[in-house]
């Protein structure tokens, strides 16, 4: 493990995968609250607002060394192969990270910190598989099928094992589709992929929609609300040993979301560049053949009543979240 900053002993919050999309937002928020934050990632932390450690969760020895050095009070485990595309293109590496990395961190925390640290897993609604009925409940069967989905489901089950059988204080938050500024996954996630084309430096390009995905339904939530939910379940004693579905800001089909992004993006850039706005609307979107990935789930929707019972509710609406995200892409 190579550290880019000295890691001090004492109470700390540790974030694995902290240089990722959600991790960077979470680390910055915790640091602003005055908490001691240590980010662990294969990448380097971009600034010195928090402490950072370069490491790979696939190394058990590295995980143990990290936990011993940091002595965390809370561990947010976000390190993962984070997209369906990357998991499908390299299934072995994805499963090593998503399953093996989770097991390594759980065992490192259990052996070094025991019940003195809360382990919080950022899971996914994809662990449920295809939706049958109106909404996933936390008690719904887990029926994941794809490489990414099964890896996350296995991590989900490992966390439950360490909580129920081995006494580790654990909590799991099953996320839906997260969007917001700073998401680097422009090749695979629908919001940044669409906006990266609408605001291409060479001029607006039509967003791409895969033929079979136009009617797929997904829950969406803005990234700062995910950060708030993660902190809620981490620091609320009522959340120990529990699993929670993330509260969605809204539900959209792929086609509806792309059309909404086109309309809102046109309005956002109209005061600065009327020609660009007109081109966005004129281009519309492009329907293409399937991506070559395995069949995606047709519909996903979470019931978040349980999270609401902790007093949590989203602060950022779908409309406002899209506005903020579009603004982050504007070149003006």
- 172-188 per-position pLDDT tens digit: 999 999 999 999 999 88
List, for residues 94-129, the tens digit of each pLDDT value. 999 999 999 999 999 999 999 999 999 999 999 999
DSSP letter string over 200-222? -TTS----EEEGGGTT-EEEEEE
pLDDT tens digits for range 37-75 = 999 999 887 777 789 999 999 999 999 999 999 999 999
Per residue in 43-67, is it b (16+ CB within 10 Å) or e — as a string?
eebeeeebbbbbbbbeeeebbbbbb
Could you please state the CATH topology (level 3) that the domain comprising 13-179+220-247+296-314 is classified under.
Rossmann fold (3.40.50)
In this predicted structure, the answer to whether residue 8 has a pLDDT above a threshold of 70 is no
Which pLDDT belongs to residue 294?
66
Share of the chain above pLDDT 70, in %: 95
Distance from chain centroid for Cα 53 = 20
Among 159, 154, 158, which Cα is nearest to 143's? 154
Residue 7 has pLDDT above 50, yes or no: no
Asked whether 195 and 262 are in contact (CB, 8 A), the reply is: no
pLDDT value, residue 167: 96
So what's the pLDDT on residue 291? 61
Q: Count Cβ atoms below 10 Å from residue 205 Cβ, excluding itself.
A: 16
Asked whether 183 and 260 are in contact (CB, 8 A), the reply is no
Q: Reduced to 3 states, what is the DSSP secondary structure of residue 141?
A: coil
Check whether 293 has a pLDDT greater than 80.
Answer: no
């Amino acid at each position: 493990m190579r550290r880019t900053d000295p890691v001090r002993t004492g109470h700390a919050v540790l974030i694995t995968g902290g240089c990722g999309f959600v991790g960077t937002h979470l680390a910055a928020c915790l640091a602003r609250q005055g908490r001691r934050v240590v980010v662990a990632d294969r990448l380097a932390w971009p600034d010195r607002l928090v402490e950072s450690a370069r490491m790979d969760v696939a190394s058990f020895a590295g995980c143990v060394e990290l936990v011993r050095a940091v002595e965390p009070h809370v561990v947010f485990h976000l390190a993962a192969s984070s997209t369906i595309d990357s998991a499908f293109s390299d299934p072995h590496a994805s499963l090593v990270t998503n399953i093996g990395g989770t097991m390594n961190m759980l065992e490192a925390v259990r052996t070094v910190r025991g019940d003195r640290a809360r382990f919080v897993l950022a899971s996914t609604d994809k662990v449920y598989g295809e939706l049958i009925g109106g909404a996933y409940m936390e008690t719904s069967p887990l029926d994941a099928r794809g490489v990414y989905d099964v890896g996350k489901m296995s991590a989900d089950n490992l966390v439950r094992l360490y909580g129920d059988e081995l006494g580790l204080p654990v909590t799991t938050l099953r996320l839906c589709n997260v969007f917001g500024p700073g998401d680097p996954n422009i090749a695979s996630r629908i919001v940044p992929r669409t906006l990266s084309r609408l605001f291409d430096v060479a001029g607006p390009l039509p967003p791409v929609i895969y033929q079979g995905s136009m009617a797929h339904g997904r829950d969406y939530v803005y990234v700062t609300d995910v950060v708030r939910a993660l902190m809620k379940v981490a620091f609320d004693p009522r959340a120990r040993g529990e699993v929670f579905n993330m509260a969605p800001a809204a539900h959209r089909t792929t086609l509806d979301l792309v059309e909404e992004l086109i309309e809102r993006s046109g309005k956002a850039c109209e005061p600065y560049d009327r020609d660009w706005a007109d081109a966005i609307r004129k281009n519309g979107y492009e329907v293409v053949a399937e991506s070559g990935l395995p069949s995606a789930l047709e519909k996903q929707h979470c019931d978040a009543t349980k999270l609401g019972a902790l007093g949590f509710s989203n602060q950022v609406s779908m409309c406002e979240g899209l506005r903020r995200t579009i603004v982050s892409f504007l070149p003006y």
